[in-house]
A and B are shown apart, each in its own frame.
Chain A
Amino acid sequence: MPTHAGTPQTEEPAEALIEAEHVSRVYHRPRTSLTKPGAAVRALDDVSLTVRRGERYGIVGESGSGKSTLLRLLCALDQPTSGSIRFDGQEITGRPERRLRFLRENLQIVFQDPMSSLDPRMRVRDLVAEPLVGLGLPAGDRVAELLDAVGLPASAADRYPHQFSGGQRQRIAIARALAPRPKVLVADEPVSALDVSVRGQILNLLADLVDELGLTLVFVSHDLSVVRHVCETVAVMSRGEIVESGPVDEIWAAPAHPYTRTLLRAVPTLKGLL
């Protein structure tokens, strides 16, 4: 039985589910002159992390710090320049797509911008069923079940993404990610584009689903206060490196790295001002 997130910390630590060791990713910018090669960008520099089964693991950092690059590697949507990534004990780097089925069934991703992450020409029914079709799994009643789970009416299935608000589109993206019954949900800034009131609805929905389905959650945000509400563990990224990681409450109370302190000070709050 999977350990549910939020259980007391006195228990034995759960087993490692995602393990990244010494991962680096160097991008090459397109060349701008005929004589000089494009500049190399070290988007990730020797990053190691362990996500345990049932854990809610947050990744926080400013724009360009390498959060999305790291997620793409954890999801095997991109390959590291060096280093190793294991999912449930199996190496996922260097594998062709046809040998990644175990990963695709067990790990799904939700992106930041619900406007651009959903194909505008597809109906919600087909969008939600797409991961199943890709894996050759039957859709059956699954679409209706999923729409219900994320709080959308069954009639939503026949409509197109542009007919929904930002928050509703994010619900569609979550339903789609949950379709193959993954063990791990990876969310890249899922609420950054939303109004505060809608942000609360989506965060509550995520928390419910993680609890009910016993999911492991990897959650990216640039706002440490949001990560603190959602996750128990956090890794702080700056310029492609993890500069600090550990229990979020400890880091919130006593940030060790100067960059984490900057990040904390930048969080807009109503408290200090009133």
Chain B
Amino acid sequence: MLKVEGLTVRSGDVELVHDVSFDIAPGERVGLIGESGSGKSLTALSLMGLLPEGVTATGRAALDGPDGGGDDLVGVPESRLKRLRGRDVSMVFQEPMTALNPLMRIGAQVAEIMTLHGTPRPQARRRALDLLDRVRLPEPAQIARAYPHQLSGGQRQRVMLAIALANEPRLLICDEPTTALDVTVQKQMLELIAEVAPALLFITHDLAVVASVCERVLVMYGGRVVESGPIREVFTRPRHRYTEGLLAASKLTPRGTRLPTIKGSVPAAGRFPGGCVFRNRCPHATPTCEDVPALTGDGHAHACWHPAD
């Protein structure tokens, strides 16, 4: 379905994402986790051809067509990507307010993504209502006439999902789609995404959230995939010390006890240490870790010299 090989993202001579490879099978839901500044969003934006000015991607990312042909997503001209974006691959962003046009009614915004890809206007209008209903917005006709500021945060995220699903994409990418929502609204949104996504790349920093939506997970740090595998295995038997740290930090211990944390903070781009990128924060680092550990193992893979067991 989606095959990413050696994806590297640079800004000038600073590498922001390094040699990332992964696959997503049809119907599969894959999570991408890591702290803020790990390179998750840049990975997603590369697949959408939406990298910011001055940031470039190399490597290969191909989306299998239904007829067996493949579409390249990286290193192809904008004119070709434009055709795929919002039709074959689409994305729900973290902050719905900035992704929606404040001056345009909701119904028109949902219809627009279909007319852009050739659906006749009246048909697009009708389908927009169906989509608003499909993402379980109450009274779709009324919502369609509203402007974004008249909706709650959770409702705006559903609209974003309706827009993303409009052209029946083959791959849906969600970048922290529920981070700005409260737990009750988040739960509904996660159930909805799991239900409607064709194939899914789901980005979050919340391990409990990814565990409730995905089957497989990629752990990213310092622009690299440091561990990957089935969620259950990675979360019950983490091998990389970064994954281990993230898991420990996700547990809320009883009141009066200290919460486990990962020492220090994520370095700025270009300031990660050589060798293992986690070396300066890792409690298990030795001089061996000054060499880059390779990502090894099939199924459940990790890139650590002294893995947990």
Contact = CB atoms under 8 A, between A and B. Distances in A.
Interface in B242-262: 245-247, 249-256, 258-262
Contacts of B247: 270
A139 interface: no
B256 A268 contact: no
Given A167-B265, A197-B249, A270 B255 contact: no
Given A266-B186, A270-B211, A273-B212, A229 B254 contact: yes
A203 B251 CA distance: 13
Max chain B CB contacts within 10 Å: which of A196, A203, A204, A232? A196
A33 interface: no
B79 interface: no
Contact of B245 (A197, A207, A229, A263): A197
Given A165-B36, A198-B265, A269-B208, A229 B183 contact: no
Contact of A195 (B35, B154, B190, B236): B35
A200 B183 contact: no
Given A197-B35, A229-B259, A266 B184 contact: yes
A265 B253 CA distance: 19
B252 A226 contact: yes
A130 B181 CA distance: 31
A63 B185 contact: yes
Contact of A270 (B183, B187, B250, B256): B250
Nearest to A203: B259
A110 B208 CA distance: 26
By DSSP majority rule, is chain A's interface helix, strand, loop, or mixed?
helix
Contacts of A200: 249, 259-261
Contacts of A201: 261
B183 A263 contact: yes
A198 B261 CA distance: 7
B241 interface: no
Contacts of A222: 182-184
A62 to B, nearest CB: 5
B185 A62 contact: yes
A167 B232 CA distance: 29
A192 to B, nearest CB: 8
B255 A204 contact: no
B216 interface: no
Interface in B166-193: 179, 181-187, 190
B207 interface: yes
B198 interface: no
21 contacts: A63-B152, A166-B36, A167-B265, A168-B265, A196-B246, A197-B246, A197-B249, A204-B258, A222-B182, A222-B183, A222-B184, A226-B252, A231-B255, A265-B187, A267-B183, A268-B211, A269-B208, A270-B250, A273-B231, A274-B235, A274-B236
Given A198-B35, A207-B256, 15 more contacts: A6-B255, A6-B256, A62-B185, A63-B182, A63-B185, A196-B249, A197-B246, A199-B249, A204-B258, A225-B252, A231-B255, A268-B190, A268-B206, A273-B211, A274-B211
